[in-house]
Amino acid sequence: MAASGFEGSEKRLELHFSGDDPLGLRRLSFKALDCVLAAIQCTVVSAVGNACFDAYVLSESSLFLYPAKLVIKTCGTTGLLHSVPLLLGHASGLGLHLLRCKYTHGSFIFPRTQPPPHCSFNEEVAFLDSNLPASLRHRKARVLPSHSLRHKWHVYSASSTVDDPVEDDNPVTVEVCMTELDRTVAGRFFLCPENAGMSGHEAGQEMTRRASIAATAAPRAFICDFAFDPCGYSMNGLKADRYSTIHVTPEEEYSYASYECVVTNKSEIQSVLEKVNAVFRPGVMSVSVTGGHAGWIEIAGGLRCRSRAAEAFPGAGTVTFQTFAAVMDEWSA
């Protein structure tokens, strides 16, 4: 493992609001968003929207804006939590009131390079506790363990009510972190000589095609993709009111890919994960599911479950965390 490199593992923040404006957060101006993103050291590289939400590919991952919900995830050495007071200020100006917050991330590949308040989970929790309104009085922070000290799932939630949200208003969210990517797969996310002169959008479309992402990881979704120079890839998929997103850091010594999606039925999860596994063929896959415990997952195609953990969080419901490791003889077969 390299001593340092680009940190692919993302931090993820989800905020839910109440308000009467049918557009809500989607009224945020680009100037306001640019100010928030500048504070955490990233920028917008591509944007698209549909009737339900707006999706932004960032220089470090993605942002999704619904009328009463936002999801932002950033990688590298971004200071994601510095966005919280700014976002709450903008939301208040739109007449929105915060109902609940959920913050998650896996284990960082290069934890010593993270800026405050991301130097430790305790520091992150203290920052959130001091910046969220007192109305979110039900709070919980836990680190879900795995078979390895290198793979843990950090979860913080805060809610104005202790009850779980109604399931129809809180569909199932699947977060996947993958390391030790298959070398052939990782090579598809480097710019090729034939990509010379292409824009990031054009090269991103080529990477999407080479990796068969549209057919497997984002079927029937509208895809907004972007390739970075000399390597790296981001994609947002939009399908009605559901999103999916992929981010890839392909460098060999610290290769990493993430996949996230929202599903309507828990029965979809295993099929989705098997398709993602077929695209990336990771050595290790970590999976967290939020929105109801659908039972433990098994993934065919060369992965074996190594650990399982589950815990309930206020306003989020049950969060499960499983790790899987590749069975090499199955891959070689």
Q: Is 252 a catalytic residue?
A: no
Catalytic-role residue among 42, 75, 224, 261: 75
Catalytic-role residue among 7, 60, 124, 180: 7
Catalytic-role residue among 160, 234, 244, 255: 234
Q: Is 199 a catalytic residue?
A: no
- Beta-carbon contacts of 195 under 8 Å, excluding residues fewer than 6 positions away, are 202, 203, 206, 227
Radius of gyration over alpha carbons of the chain, in Å? Answer: 19
Catalytic-role residue among 9, 10, 60, 159: 10
- The pair phi, psi for residue 51, each rounded to 5°, is -70, -15
Catalytic-role residue among 9, 46, 59, 61: 61
**Residue that is written with structure tokens 């120079």 in the block:** 229
Q: Is 10 a catalytic residue?
A: yes
Q: Do residues 104 and 153 make contact, with C-beta atoms less than 8 angstroms apart? A: yes
CA distance 305 to 297: 8
Where would I find the beta strands (DSSP E) of the chain?
Answer: 11-18, 44-49, 54-58, 61-65, 69-74, 97-105, 138-144, 153-159, 172-181, 222-227, 233-239, 242-249, 256-263, 282-290, 303-313, 317-326
CA distance 12 to 24: 21
Q: Is 82 a catalytic residue?
A: no
Q: Is 75 a catalytic residue?
A: yes
Q: Is 147 a catalytic residue?
A: no
- Residue of 77, 69, 56 whose CA lies nearest to 235: 56
CA distances from 183 to 176, 187, 189, 191 (A): 19, 6, 10, 15
CA distance 83 to 105: 16
3 state DSSP class of 27: helix
Catalytic-role residue among 9, 46, 247, 255: 247
- Enumerate the active-site residues: 7, 10, 61, 75, 234, 247
